Amino acid sequence: MDKSKELYYYSLLEDMTDMMNDPDNFDRDAFIRILTRFAELFNVSKGVTEFYMSLTDEKNGYGEVLIDYDNGHGDKEIVKRRIVAKSGVVMKCTFYAAADSPELPTEDLKKLDLIARMILGLVSRNRLIGVVEKLGFTDGQGYPNYRTFLRYLQNVNSEGTLGGRVAFKYNLRHFGLVNQDVGRTVGDVVMRNHFELISSIVGNHGIVCRMGGDNFIGILDKKDLESLLAALSGVPVVYDNGNLKRVMVRSSVGVFELPDPYRFEDPDDIMDILMPAASIAKNGSGDSIVFADEKLLKMKHNSMMVQKNFPKALAENEFFPYYQPQVDITTGRTVGAEALCRWKKDGRLIMPGQFIPVLEQSTDICLLDFYMLDAVCRDIRRWMDEGSPIVRISVNMSRKHLIDVDFVEHLTSIIDRRQIPRDYIEIEFTETVDNAGFGELKQVVEKLRSVGIYTSVDDFGAGYTALALLSDIPWNIIKIDRSFLPEQGKNDTANLLPIMKHIAQIADELGMSTVVEGVETEEHVKIMRENNCRIAQGFFYHRPMPVTDFEELLLEETS
Ligand code: C2E
Ligand code: MG
Ligand code: MG
């Protein structure tokens, strides 16, 4: 290549570099002009760039092929560059020459190769923006993803047009069963068709995206909400156009109607309200459509307060037991008591209903339970030291403990550390609706029994009790749930009474005692007598009380 050609080559190269450094203003025509000049310089007859999203696409020839230059003089391949990017994207650039053209000197081939690499650099820059878009904003199956949703939210938020719209999140109910029934592939078709249907309801004034699995999230105009909810509450979805095969798809959905006007600081402002509603819709026993309202907001607020304050509150001894006496109805005397947790925060007493369910969501509840047991042991130790009257105290333990293999050891170490006779302590576990952890529960109760600690099953009969809970687990005490007793003025539990009678009988035969919870009236006491139940815990006798009141009560009864 002579000197002047060489200079020309470098000036073209410079133009191309400038172009690469300014990808935002990429001008394809100018690019082709430079390429044409290169081609003439090296007698190239044709330049082709190819772009594939993946190796498989390349193999199947499914990609984009651009002929950047072609003078029609032949296709003898002279230079070929192929790049496989980390993302899996494949790019190729090939130069051809006329079949009868002389071989190019190595020097020139190298120069051409440099051009090919620069072209690919440029292509990758421009095309990768598109790829990133595609990879980043859709999921593996091509559904717009959560990021697409967030981007949409940000956009409408900055336009200021969010106010008055509706945010929704839904879950396809029992979609696993649909997959089982029709197979996964057809299941995918069902999901896709369902998605298309919902998308068509949402139309251009909103968006629906998939969050993963069978969870979807979106925004739509208030006027379309009714149609959306109608479709989500159950709609037949066709999955085989020919045969008109259909399957019913029902969803659970959380709905948040945005105030008007509305603007967020952070998209989480919406998620924080929408997600609890969706999760109640999905997991709650009630309605499958749940609107985020004041009450829900308060719940959310409360649970954040609890989670945030718990560690400090525990460290600063803000929790302590109230004691509720258990009374022998034949003598009227206190024979035991249940320790019930109270939280004194900023001079206010917080009831367990407000914090136990929140703590139950993590293992924080276990810390609280052990803390309570220790607090009870402290009280008993003091009574022992002072020679005060003492009754057995029952302490509630969450089922969360059951996964702790050293639970019983942990428990006995707390009791033993204060040298409390173990039979002063009773441990309550609630009966739950499912029988998850039944084996663990059985083991723990057996172990506790073997080390001399009493056990009771709490709220018995409140859920769908399995009788195996009684026959297979050696409880000392059954605490019969208060739902067996009629509420004042109502007689809606009449048909439960025979069951209560039988529970008492079974307990007796199995050598267990019973405590009836929620005894509030004279009538309740009468029912207890008729059913041979002897120990009552309820407001009729005593409400839960501070330890000093409890000590006084025991003293009075013994004097
Ligand atoms: P629980 O273990 O079933 O405790 C009995 C609950 O019924 C107590 O509510 C008690 O105040 C209430 N109660 C007693 N007699 C009557 C009555 O005659 N009528 C009515 N309507 N209610 C009565 P509390 O103290 O609000 O505790 C609620 C629940 O919180 C407890 O139910 C227990 O499940 C849980 N809890 C309390 N303390 C602890 C604890 O330290 N650890 C754990 N894991 N749970 C606790
Ligand atoms: Mg209890
Ligand atoms: Mg109870």
Q: Tens digit of pLDDT for each residue in 320-356?
A: 999 999 999 999 999 999 999 999 999 999 999 999 9
As annotated, the residues of the chain forming the CATH 3.30.450 domain(s) are 3-137
Q: Is 545 in the pocket of ligand 1 (CB under 6 A)?
A: no
Q: Which residues have CB under 8 Å from 512's CB, separation 6+? A: 470, 475, 476, 477, 478
Percent of the chain scoring above 90 in pLDDT: 54
The predicted structure's pLDDT at residue 436:
65
Ligand 3 centroid – CA 434 distance (Å): 17
- 435 pLDDT more than 60: no
- 86 pLDDT more than 80: no
Give the other-Cβ count within 10 Å of 333's Cβ: 13
Ligand 2 centroid – CA 427 distance (Å): 9
Taking alpha carbons only, the member of 523, 525, 477, 522 closest to residue 503 is: 477
Distances (CA, A) of 174 to 160, 177, 249: 37, 5, 9
Percent of the chain scoring above 70 in pLDDT: 95
The predicted structure's pLDDT at residue 134:
67
Q: Is 57 in the pocket of ligand 1 (CB under 6 A)?
A: no
Nearest ligand 1 atom, CA 520: 18
- 285 pLDDT more than 90: no
Per-chain mean pLDDT for the chain: 90
SS3 call for 224: helix
As annotated, the residues of the chain forming the CATH 3.20.20.450 domain(s) are 318-558
Amino acid at 283: N
For residue range 187-212, list pLDDT tens digits in order.
Answer: 999 999 999 999 999 998 899 999 98
The predicted structure's pLDDT at residue 181:
85
Nearest ligand 1 atom, CA 397: 44
Ligand 1 centroid – CA 499 distance (Å): 23
- 446 pLDDT more than 80: yes
Of the ranges 29-38, 397-406, 414-423, which is most confident?
Answer: 414-423
Cα separation, 187 vs 203, in Å, equals 24
Proximal ligand: closest to the CA of 369: 1
Q: Is 187 in the pocket of ligand 1 (CB under 6 A)?
A: no
Cα separation, 316 vs 321, in Å, equals 15
The predicted structure's pLDDT at residue 364:
95
- Of all protein residues, the one whose alpha carbon is nearest to atom 43 of ligand 1 is 396
- Of all protein residues, the one whose alpha carbon is nearest to atom 17 of ligand 1 is 518
Convert 431-454 to b/e letters by CB count within 10 Å (16 or more is b).
bbeeeebbebbebbbebbeeeebb
- More confident site: 43 or 295: 43
Neighbours of ion ligand 3 (CB under 5 A): 458-459, 517
- 104 pLDDT more than 70: yes
Into which CATH architecture does domain 318-558 fall?
Alpha-Beta Barrel (3.20)
Confidence of residue 131 (pLDDT cuts 50, 70, 90): low
Give the other-Cβ count within 10 Å of 378's Cβ: 15
DSSP assignment string, 408-461: HHHHHHHHHHTT--GGGEEEEEE--SS-TTHHHHHHHHHHHHHTT-EEEEEEET
Q: Which of 456, 517, 535, 542 to mutate to test the pocket of ligand 1 (most atoms within 8 A of CB)?
A: 517
φ/ψ (deg, to 5) at 162: -80, -35
Q: Which of 314, 318, 356 to mutate to test the pocket of ligand 1 (most atoms within 8 A of CB)?
A: 356
Ligand 1 centroid – CA 309 distance (Å): 22
Of the ranges 234-243, 282-291, 375-384, which is most confident?
Answer: 375-384
Q: Is 373 in the pocket of ligand 1 (CB under 6 A)?
A: no
pTM equals: 0.64
Cα separation, 426 vs 513, in Å, equals 13
- 130 pLDDT more than 70: no
Minimum mean pLDDT range among 18-27, 142-151, 198-207, 443-452:
18-27
Class of domain 146-292: alpha beta
Ligand 2 centroid – CA 524 distance (Å): 19
Q: Is 326 in the pocket of ligand 1 (CB under 6 A)?
A: no
Confidence of residue 87 (pLDDT cuts 50, 70, 90): low
Per CATH, is 3-137 categorized as 3.10.530?
no
Confidence of residue 387 (pLDDT cuts 50, 70, 90): very high
The predicted structure's pLDDT at residue 141:
85
